[in-house]
Amino acid sequence: MLILTRKLGESIHIGDQIEVRIVAIDGDQIKLGINAPREIDVHRSEIYESIQKANNQAASEKLPENILRAIKAMKKGRQDE
């Protein structure tokens, strides 16, 4: 991993379109300002990782036949009855 030292107000460029600036420092919290094109998604790592994990769990199960049959038999609007 590349490690750079920056001061408050300084920034780095990633490629020619992404800029990350140190906006504020308060104890162990650092506020980052990010300038990036629309097609680049920026997320807190733990949020992205939690969704990766949820997707992995949802796809991993080899579901038993009785559950699959029950799901298939479920009708729309059942919850409103």
Q: Answer yes or no whether residue 67 interacts with another protein by CB under 8 A.
A: yes
| Beta carbon of residue 39, minimum distance to another protein (angstroms, whole number) | 6
Distance of CA 6 to the CA centre of its chain: 25
Q: Of 7 and 78, which has the nearer Cβ to another protein?
A: 78
Whether 33 contacts 20, CB under 8 Å: yes
CB of 26 to another protein, least distance (A): 20
How far out from the chain centre does Cα 62 lie?
Answer: 26
The whole-angstrom separation of Cα 55 and Cα 32 is 28
From residue 7, give the alpha-carbon distance in Å to each of 10, 24, 61: 5, 10, 48
73: contact with another protein by CB under 8 A: yes
| Contact positions with another protein (CB under 8 A) in 23-42 | 38-39, 41
User: Which stretches of the chain bind another protein, using CB under 8 A?
Assistant: 38-39, 41, 43-44, 47-48, 50-59, 61, 63-64, 67-68, 70-80
